[in-house]
Chain A
Amino acid sequence: MTSVAISVPKAAGAPRLASLKRNRRWALITSYVFLVIFAIFFLMPPYYMVVTALKSDAEVAHMATNPWIIANGITLDQFKILFTQTDFLIFFKNTAIVTVAVVIITMVVSVLAAFSLGRMRFWGSSILATGIFLTYLVPDTLLFIPLFQIVKAIGLLNSYWGMVLVYPTLTVPFCTWIMIGYFQSIPKELDEAALIDGAGHMQMLLKIFIPVALPGIIAATIFAFTVSWAAFVYPMAFLYSADQQVLTVGTVTSLIRADVYKWGMLMAGALVAAAPPLVIYAFLMDYYIAGLTSGATKG
């Protein structure tokens, strides 16, 4: 910084300002050009999935036509096949049950813990907070083999309730971590005032902290929802029959039958399965990003 300030002499006012303006316009145009290139890269697979899902089987299989466009008219046949001739709706129902259960468990456990760790403290609480962050860094691919034995011993192998048992390991640590941050940012005077008014800790949490930390709770809920909706390793290892299967694994494995891949139907399935997280992001993206990046912006 200082070396720049010393080495570059200050230029005269008026012409410099004009050139600055011109520079800015060029910077803007270059930004747009490159952003369009990146947007094509990022959006090409989802676009291609949509295009494939809306084609007839005949057009998907026909190799001469341009695969990137729909030449022979849009059809919803693939979705019809998906909903009537496959187990897709069972997968969807299973995933919905598992996700709702996991989100509820996660939020109750992590809000209680975060309130206690962020506001009350007890012997060993700061070590515990660090420990929670560390468990968040333990990946599911390190745990799925011992958990296979544990889930089997409990008798929940090949049952989606087994997923309700193990998914919280993916969601609870991070949700607790971001909730601790939110609770700590609430001024100390608030709970002192509540204590003077004779409120108990539970009342304090329900009436003051949860409403004030609502953005954080929304962010944590979206995180828990997305993670359990998209989880792949655990169901891949623990579930094998169609009536217990969840969306991610079901779409990737069970929908693929026979020798010929029904790509149109597969893409239709992938799109419907990806729709709930996409819809949630479309409406609540700002909360989620604020929750994720709160550490980055505070600095």
Chain B
Amino acid sequence: MADTVHTWVPALQETGKRIPARSGLKKFLRQRSTIAFLMCLPLIVIITSLVIYPAFYSIYLSMLNKAQTRFIGLGNFTFLLSRDVFWMVVQQSAIFALSAVFFKALIGLITAHLINNLPSKGQRKWRGMLLVPWVIPLALSSLGWWWLFDPTHSAFNWILAGLGFNEIPWLSDPYWARFSVILVNVWYGAPFFLIMYLAALKSVPEQLYEAAAIDGANAWQRFIHITLPMMRNIIAITVLFSLIVTFANFDIVQIMTAGGPRNMTHVFATYSFLLGIRSGDLPLGAATSLFMFPILAIAAVFILRGVRKRGREIA
């Protein structure tokens, strides 16, 4: 730090400006670290006022009564914990996030390998095609899926009927509705894994595979002993990151089922929206969404560890 300041100050004087006697403040403003801090200021203001302050405000808000006139301590939290619906939300959020992330990662890994097998000419075209679900705004594709699942006109049921199967009540049966929202999430999220894994695959040195091929390793052995160890860190980061995003997902469930049937598809986000905005009980909604925090924090710590480790590997 010190030597950079030294090189900087003479450079300033060389520009020919005479520094006035009362220069304490001006000198301070010209210092490299001050300029750097001022450049960061807009970012700091945005993050403090619109992320950090609301996060703490949310904790305060969750301890008020519905009219926000009285402090009730942990009343909202104990009320939630005593409700069956809330425990169903916890359960469904866990099922939703874990199963969706697992299948997203699996499909992403498979499709990344398939594309990587192709001659490099065709790779770009296939990648672009498989990326489409991720490019369409999720709210709009969820609307498209809803139409595919429509009870009277379902295009899926038309196929099932043609093949001689019974129609499936995609969104009106609680368990099928759970399956449907997870399916849509897998459809939307798998392309993200695809591009991350494809990039990671490309970074594995070709010589490793050549050496293994000469030694007679088959495709599965190459995958287990070269690809997976080389990609372990990026897989971990991507999975944890997706876990956060999936756990906090709102669009799919809100549009396709709005939490129904019988509250069976509610996740934390839609349930807190229902309580906080729709029913107008902001403190209770804030309390509900705060339950996401510990899970997200744990995932965040592990991601940060992975990113740092990766940073050291690069350096």
B273: chain A residues within 8 A (beta carbon): 141, 144, 233, 236-237
Which one of B114, B126, B290 has the highest number of Cβ atoms from chain A below 10 Å of its Cβ?
Answer: B114
B213: chain A residues within 8 A (beta carbon): 20
Q: Is A100 an interface residue (CB 8 A)?
A: no
B90: chain A residues within 8 A (beta carbon): none
The docked-state distance in angstroms from the alpha carbon of A169 to that of B47 is 7
Interface size on A, residues (CB 8 A): 109
Q: Is B81 an interface residue (CB 8 A)?
A: no
B43: chain A residues within 8 A (beta carbon): 109-110, 112-113, 132, 172, 176
The docked-state distance in angstroms from the alpha carbon of A122 to that of B43 is 15
Which listed residue, A122, A267, A286, A295, touches B36 by the CB 8 Å rule? A122
CB pair B57–A150 under 8 Å, yes or no, is yes
The docked-state distance in angstroms from the alpha carbon of A143 to that of B110 is 35
B115: chain A residues within 8 A (beta carbon): 31, 35
The docked-state distance in angstroms from the alpha carbon of A237 to that of B130 is 32
Q: Is B196 an interface residue (CB 8 A)?
A: yes
B155: chain A residues within 8 A (beta carbon): 48, 67-68
Which one of B147, B225, B237 has the highest number of Cβ atoms from chain A below 10 Å of its Cβ?
Answer: B147
The docked-state distance in angstroms from the alpha carbon of A137 to that of B272 is 19
Q: Is B24 an interface residue (CB 8 A)?
A: no
CB pair A45–B144 under 8 Å, yes or no, is yes
Q: Is B176 an interface residue (CB 8 A)?
A: no
Interface size on B, residues (CB 8 A): 120
> Could you tell me the distance in whole angstroms from the C-beta of B178 to the nearest C-beta in chain A?
19
Chain B residues with CB under 8 Å of chain A are 1, 7-8, 11, 14-15, 32-37, 39-40, 42-44, 46-47, 50-55, 57-58, 61, 107, 110-111, 114-115, 117-119, 124, 126-133, 135-145, 147-148, 150, 152-153, 155, 158, 187, 190-191, 195-196, 198-200, 202-203, 208, 211-217, 219, 221, 225-226, 233-234, 237, 241, 244-245, 247-251, 254-255, 268-269, 272-273, 276-277, 282, 285-286, 289-290, 292-293, 296, 299-300, 303-304, 307, 310, 313-314
Chain A residues with CB under 8 Å of chain B are 1, 4-5, 8-11, 20, 27-28, 31-32, 34-35, 38-39, 41-46, 48-49, 52, 60-61, 63, 66-68, 108-110, 112-113, 115-117, 120-123, 125, 128, 130-135, 137-150, 165-166, 168-169, 172-173, 176, 195-196, 198, 201, 226, 229-230, 232-233, 236-237, 247-249, 251-252, 261, 263, 266-267, 270, 273-274, 277-278, 281-282, 285-286, 289, 292-293, 295-299
